[in-house]
Chain A
Amino acid sequence: MRKVYHKIIQIAGNVITVEADGVANNDLAEVTSVRGTSLAQVIRLLDNKVFLQVFNGTRGINTGDEVRFLGHPMRVSASDALLGRIFTGAGVPRDGRPEIHDNMIEIGGPSVNPAKRIIPRKMIRTGIPMIDVFNTLVESQKLPIFSIAGEPYNELLARIAMQAEVDVIVLGGMGLKYDDYLTFRNTLDEHGALSRSVMFVHTAADPTVECLLVPDMSLAVAESFALEGKRVLVLLTDMTNFADAMKEIAITMEQVPSNRGYPGDLYSQLASRYEKAVDFDGAGSITILAVTTMPGDDVTHPIPDNTGYITEGQFYLRGGRIEPFGSLSRLKQNVNGKTRADHRTVMDTMIRFYADYKETLEKQSMGFQMSNWDNKLLKYGKLFEKNMMDLSLNIQLEDALDLGWKILADCFDAAETGIKTSLLEQFWPKKD
């Protein structure tokens, strides 16, 4: 029988301090108060004082309440029984179905030996041209979606979850609006994707500390599937809420903030999660797509800034579209040379003309006379935005490339494109 302690000597923020011995760092405890029982985790030891972060928050906790140490750190079940299930950040079922206790593994495990990684080389098809054609997602990539509040980032994630060619989807929701959570669940369900998904959801109404657990729970589960050879896609939304939860704890613990109140280890904390993305030498893979809402639409804010330093590129979601400029999949060149002979050319040419279109738009708005060429560009820009940038599209890469050629041929003469003759001969649509 584990020892029970009744003397809480300090309560501050979400952290309580008890006097106890024989307690191990990072272990869990149960704190029982009038509000029920909550898990708590040891985050610091000093002499006989044990500092615990209480998952449900400390509201209503009495200094005489009961603290019972469990003798192990935070764990999660790693089994196929998780598929189709929905949990809270602390791993409690949210879907009214029974708890799962088989094959419990510790979360936040050690990092992969770099010698056991391989160079990423497999494309993940999403059916979304702005991704597949222009910024190809690669297995084991970690990529954030930089966005501002109000943008349809969760719709985008849900769509990718439905369309992506992967074996398992793990969704980690942090500070999700309840409606968004329901939308996710229903969308995955309607499209038959729920049965290959596991969801860890912390909603805006849930205790902050549970938010902190979501990435580690999600990634531990993802890792266990990947080790079985599965291709796992992890969707995290919104990592800004995760970082803000860390800031809150750091301030409670009286840590010296480094930048706009964020703790000095923000980079390491984010990196230890994102670096779980991996292509194992001889097993499966983990790919991470994470939403990062940018406070004040400012990419130099510590959260997007540190994220950019960790991830392998970024998607900017603006006006409901993935911005062609600024968005970058740093791994795309690993795969887009091997898809189809015209992939890189279509990508470069279409983006170049889109940039020209933007310049023409500017000239037009300043009242300049539109030349014949300008008119061609204007037509092109509209077709591009309508047919390529629309995020609700679901077409195969090859069809998207064909569509690209069609748009180009609708607007320009072959010679105006500056494309190599050999490619034109093969791909330029024949007029009939």
Chain B
Amino acid sequence: MPENQTGRIKGVNGNLVTVEFDTAVMQNEVAYVEIGDQKLKGEVIRVRGNRADLQIYESTAGLKIDDTVKFTGEMLSVALGPGLLTKVYDGLQNPLNLLAEKAGFFLKRGLYLDALDMESVWDFTPIAKPGDKLVAGDRIGSVPEGIFTHYIMLPFRFAGSWEVVSVAPAGPRKITDTVAHVRSADGEERDVTMVQYWPVKLPISCYKEKLLPTKTLITQQRTIDTFFPVATGGTFCTPGPFGAGKTVLQHSISRYAETDVVVIAACGERAGEVVEILREYPTLEDPRTGKTLMDRSVIICNTSSMPVAAREASVYTAVTIAEYYRQQGLNVLLLADSTSRWAQALREMSGRLEEIPGEEAFPAYLESLIAGFYERAGLVLLNDGKTTGSVTIGGSVSPAGGNFEEPVTQATLKVVGAFLGLSRERSDARRFPSIHPLDSWSHYHSIVPAEDLAFARATLRRGQEVNQMMKVVGEEGTNTDDFVTYLKSEFLDFVYLQQNTFDAVDAASDDKRQKYVFAKVIGVLKANFKFDDKDQARRFFQELQLTFIDWNYIVFGSDKFKHQEEVIDAKIKERIANA
């Protein structure tokens, strides 16, 4: 590689630094600004003539004109290898716990640490044999990583076909040890270790083909799995005004979703919310594996007061790590909170670059960047032709003023497969999760029969119409049939759509339970009840509702559960016409 380029600072405007260089620089190349003995990381985001504009991932305080900048010739990359799980990183993949050990209470500018423990030792088992022909992503060996078999692959950036010259025998190996020696068709020889690097802004595409996501990802949230399902390998978004419950919902999904790995990107939101995860997940058991939730999680956290440019990088760091575990043949769920903060980081940069602004000053390329991000989700068939892996992406969106007619929400809606819109009305009424049951939509398959779902939807819609009407003509002016429809829609809302995320049992409802309970709910919605008057109807539904909510708090299939079901059945019978 040629001697790395250096340049000199010619302008500083917030976190945008303009650098004059002599020969050549690359778009998205990483460079370091030198200030005293500190080196501040940055990325080339525009080149004009012999000047490059860099976004700096740190505070630019103290930089001067003519300070030295060293270009690296590399794009912003992350380290991929065993040991990513359980880690907590900032947007540039700095391990925060280690950083705290080194720097104390505060983040220290210019301090970059290895993302993976380069001294760690893993129990290596070879898979490839000398003479095998491999392409990028093919398996060389494996190591156990917690609950998973972690495959060591031919690095994704190795182009073409490589012949295995030698493979390390089984046994403990340091992560940086050579585990294979390979030779390309034109005779180039390379060593492979357990760590590889990949530029975050490029999707990893070492797979045979992308498949249509058809399998429903069970989140154990009733409103989602039944009404607005998400597919394994699909995409969804949860826009909502502040306080509507986006973060609480994402945390519930990250805890209970039936997936192998969860990558959480806390992007430009509160540090306090990440702390809850950091402190609680290591102590919470994942019932599917018996290990802690932390064992299946990677957390990327670039909270709102951390440098803005690194916030922009953080979603890419997260999705790259998600893709890496997809290449392991695992199902990965990536949750980003909030994508609006990422979009705002883009807007800040675009403003400093004095680009022609689009709507609400967001850059004109916002839409294509959002689309590009969600396009990195997917269900893929790996090179072996039989293993699949997936990345499912869920992003929360924080629209200005809670108004969905804004650029980030609109651009997101164009590309996602499911829209779970959180409503201020519902959160004010403490109807959680506040996913709007009529405005939301999903292109994926529900876990319940389509005709039942359609019936439930129709009840909700009709109930809302009656409610609207009652606001005008009063209860007196509404006939009993309509009134009962309204009560049924409220019943559906209270016992099924609403779910108490703070109750140990109700917080998670697996698909068996959902199907079972939903059938019972449909029975009530379809039942032909007989009431003397509205008061009687109201009382009946209030009582039925209570018995049902109690049922929700009881462990599925237990004796208590069966007993409560009998209570419910008896209650229903009380008012069935001609019974």
**Real complex partners, A and B?**
yes
Q: Which residues of A contact B (CB under 8 A)?
A: 21-27, 44-48, 73, 109-120, 140, 227, 255-259, 263-265, 267-268, 271-272, 275-276, 278, 280, 283, 300-302, 305-306, 308-310, 312-314, 325-326, 328, 330, 333
Tell me, yes or no, whether B357 is within 8 Å of chain A by CB. Answer: yes
Residue-wise, chain B 269-292 has the 8 Å CB interface mask toward A (1 for contact) of 011101110111000000000000
Chain B interface secondary structure, helix, strand, loop or mixed? mixed
- Our pick among A44, A48, A264 for the contact of B361 (Cβ within 8 Å) is A264
Tell me, yes or no, whether B398 is within 8 Å of chain A by CB. Answer: yes
The answer to whether A300 touches B401 (Cβ under 8 A) is: yes
- Our pick among B243, B278, B280, B341 for the contact of A267 (Cβ within 8 Å) is B341
Q: Which residues of A contact B348 (CB under 8 A)?
A: 264-265, 268
> Bound state CA distance, A194 and B341, in angstroms?
39
Q: Which residues of B contact A283 (CB under 8 A)?
A: 105
The answer to whether B275 touches A310 (Cβ under 8 A) is: no
The answer to whether B308 touches A114 (Cβ under 8 A) is: no
> Bound state CA distance, A330 and B280, in angstroms?
18
Q: Which residues of A contact B9 (CB under 8 A)?
A: 45
The answer to whether A111 touches B62 (Cβ under 8 A) is: no
Stretch at the interface among B191-199, B299-307, B431-439, B490-498: B299-307
- Known contacts A44-B12, A256-B361: A114-B64 contact under CB 8 Å: no
Central interface residue in B9, B268, B341, B401, by most chain A CB within 10 Å: B401
- Our pick among A109, A118, A265, A275 for the contact of B279 (Cβ within 8 Å) is A118
Residue-wise, chain B 251-279 has the 8 Å CB interface mask toward A (1 for contact) of 00000000000000000101110111011
> Bound state CA distance, A272 and B10, in angstroms?
27
The answer to whether A309 touches B61 (Cβ under 8 A) is: no
The answer to whether B305 touches A275 (Cβ under 8 A) is: yes
> Bound state CA distance, A308 and B502, in angstroms?
23
> Bound state CA distance, A83 and B272, in angstroms?
29
Tell me, yes or no, whether B88 is within 8 Å of chain A by CB. Answer: yes
- Our pick among B61, B103, B303 for the contact of A73 (Cβ within 8 Å) is B61
> Bound state CA distance, A73 and B60, in angstroms?
12
The answer to whether B276 touches A275 (Cβ under 8 A) is: no
Shortest Cβ distance from residue B21 to the other chain A in the assembled complex, whole angstroms: 15
- Known contacts A24-B62, A44-B12: A114-B400 contact under CB 8 Å: no
Q: Which residues of A contact B502 (CB under 8 A)?
A: 333
Which B11-27 residues sit within 8 Å CB-CB of chain A? 11-14, 18
* Chain A, residue nearest B302 (CB): A114
Q: Which residues of A contact B278 (CB under 8 A)?
A: 114-115
The answer to whether A256 touches B88 (Cβ under 8 A) is: no
Q: Which residues of B contact A272 (CB under 8 A)?
A: 304-305
The answer to whether B243 touches A114 (Cβ under 8 A) is: no
The answer to whether B274 touches A45 (Cβ under 8 A) is: no
The answer to whether A258 touches B65 (Cβ under 8 A) is: no
> Bound state CA distance, A263 and B402, in angstroms?
19
Shortest Cβ distance from residue B278 to the other chain A in the assembled complex, whole angstroms: 7
Tell me, yes or no, whether B99 is within 8 Å of chain A by CB. Answer: yes
Q: Which residues of B contact A300 (CB under 8 A)?
A: 400-403
* Chain A, residue nearest B359 (CB): A258
The answer to whether B12 touches A117 (Cβ under 8 A) is: no
Shortest Cβ distance from residue A377 to the other chain B in the assembled complex, whole angstroms: 19
* Chain B, residue nearest A51 (CB): B13
Q: Which residues of A contact B305 (CB under 8 A)?
A: 111, 271-272, 275-276
With A117-B271, A255-B351 given, name 8 new contacts (CB 8 A): A73-B62, A110-B59, A111-B107, A116-B104, A264-B344, A265-B308, A275-B271, A275-B303
> Bound state CA distance, A21 and B445, in angstroms?
65
